[in-house]
């Protein structure tokens, strides 16, 4: 992963919230929350909260007495999350997953939605999760499956790459869809100190957008793919977005579009 792959700043945060969140992230936020409903969660840490889609779902589903701390590396994302707001108090914190600013055993639940792929040192980040979880605590997170199992992302990746044949931007394949190997995930968790084997479920859902254009804008301008495109030629951002929109329309049709998406959901408990 390059150092720019985890930078979501400026207008990217707004486009991410209005485009990517409803298209991809809301169904999986509901899935993660449903996995916690039967547990007694008193203090929850969210890592990689982004613009707060999972935070809002947690706030709506968990008891009022449950304390929720939501962190992200990017202040622009947290600012957008706080601006949108939730119906209860949330402790928003800027934090690096590889160096969490919390005492040992200070949470009983850690959740993370589609952020683990961005951790530069995954075993280190997982060791930090292990450290801040108390006895009997649980870590639940999800990661995207391979690009071929996520139709919108695959079409956009191919369309963008075709415009830069000598140096294709491959952010989507490299990072969001680059950490899907179950064995690698299990090894990284073990390296981070988790003794028990993880439970890994593969969850298929549908991604929907009001149009091919809306989906293309979300991917090309609301993620670090934008940085990759602009690093090659900032004047071509609109051209690339239009090409991605045309490819999506050719595959999924005019008007509202609907495609398959797939992710792994991982749960592992502290065995101490």
Grouping H, G, I as helix, E, B as strand and the rest as coil, residue 62 is coil
pLDDT of 6 above 60: no
- β-sheet bridge partners, residue 111: 46, 140
For the segment 60-86, what is each residue's pLDDT rounded down to a tens digit? Answer: 999 999 999 999 999 999 999 999 988
Mean pLDDT of the 151-160 span: 98
Grouping H, G, I as helix, E, B as strand and the rest as coil, residue 43 is strand
Give residue 87's pLDDT band: very low, low, confident or very high (50, 70, 90): confident
pLDDT of 171 above 80: yes
Report phi then psi at 78, rounded to 5.
-65, -40
Residue with tokens 């140096």: 167
Q: How far apart (Å, rounded) are the C-alpha atoms in residues 66 and 246? A: 46
pLDDT of 182 above 80: yes
Grouping H, G, I as helix, E, B as strand and the rest as coil, residue 250 is helix
Cβ pair 157, 170 in contact under 8 A: yes
Looking at residue 178, its pLDDT comes to 98
Candidates 211, 193, 217; CA nearest to 126 is: 193
Q: How far apart (Å, rounded) are the C-alpha atoms in residues 75 and 84? A: 14
DSSP 37: T
Residue 1: both structure tokens together:
């992963």
Inter-axis angle of helices 53-61 and 26-36, nearest 10: 40
Paired sense of beta strands 91-94 and 67-72, if any? parallel
pLDDT of 47 above 90: yes
Report phi then psi at 175, rounded to 5.
-115, -70
Give residue 4's pLDDT band: very low, low, confident or very high (50, 70, 90): low
Give residue 10's pLDDT band: very low, low, confident or very high (50, 70, 90): low
For the segment 109-148, what is each residue's pLDDT rounded down to a tens digit? Answer: 999 999 999 999 999 999 999 999 999 999 999 999 999 9
% of residues, the chain, pLDDT over 90: 92
Mean pLDDT of the 196-224 span: 97
Q: How far apart (Å, rounded) are the C-alpha atoms in residues 25 and 2? A: 23
- Domain ranges (residues) in the chain: 11-269
Candidates 242, 177, 227; CA nearest to 8 is: 227
Q: How far apart (Å, rounded) are the C-alpha atoms in residues 140 and 231? A: 35
Q: Global pTM?
A: 0.94
Looking at residue 19, its pLDDT comes to 96
Burial (CB < 10 A; 0-12, 13-18, 19+), residue 38, is exposed
- Give the CATH number of domain 11-269: 3.40.50.150
Looking at residue 144, its pLDDT comes to 98
Looking at residue 245, its pLDDT comes to 98
For the segment 241-262, what is each residue's pLDDT rounded down to a tens digit? Answer: 999 999 999 999 999 999 999 9
Candidates 22, 33, 38; CA nearest to 58 is: 33
Paired sense of beta strands 91-94 and 107-113, if any? unpaired
pLDDT of 183 above 60: yes
Give residue 11's pLDDT band: very low, low, confident or very high (50, 70, 90): confident
Quote the mean pLDDT of the chain: 95
Burial (CB < 10 A; 0-12, 13-18, 19+), residue 148, is exposed
């Amino acid at each position: 992963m390059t150092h720019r792959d985890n930078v979501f700043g400026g207008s990217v945060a707004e486009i991410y919230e209005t485009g990517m969140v409803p298209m991809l992230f809301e169904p999986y936020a509901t899935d993660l929350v449903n996995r916690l409903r039967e547990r007694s969660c008193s203090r929850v840490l969210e890592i990689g909260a982004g613009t707060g889609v999972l935070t809002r779902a947690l706030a709506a589903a968990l008891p009022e007495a449950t304390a929720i701390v939501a962190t992200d590396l990017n202040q622009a994302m947290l600012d957008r999350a706080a601006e949108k707001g939730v119906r209860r108090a949330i402790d928003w914190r800027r934090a690096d997953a590889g160096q969490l600013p919390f005492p040992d055993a200070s949470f009983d639940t850690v959740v993370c939605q589609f952020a683990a792929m961005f951790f530069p040192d995954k075993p280190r980040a997982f060791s930090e999760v292990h450290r801040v979880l108390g006895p009997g605590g649980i870590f639940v997170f999800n990661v995207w499956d391979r690009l071929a199992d996520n139709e919108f992302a695959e079409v956009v990746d191919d369309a963008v790459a075709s415009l830069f044949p000598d140096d294709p931007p491959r952010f989507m394949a490299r990072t969001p869809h680059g950490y899907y190997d179950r064995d690698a995930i299990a090894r990284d968790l073990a390296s981070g100190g988790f003794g028990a084997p993880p439970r890994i479920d593969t969850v298929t859902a549908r991604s929907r957008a009001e149009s091919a254009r809306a989906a293309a804008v979300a991917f090309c301008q609301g993620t670090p793919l934008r940085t990759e495109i602009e690093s090659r030629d900032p004047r071509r951002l609109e051209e690339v977005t239009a090409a991605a929109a045309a490819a999506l329309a050719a595959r999924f049709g005019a008007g509202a579009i609907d495609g398959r998406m797939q992710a792994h959901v991982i749960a592992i408990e502290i065995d101490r």
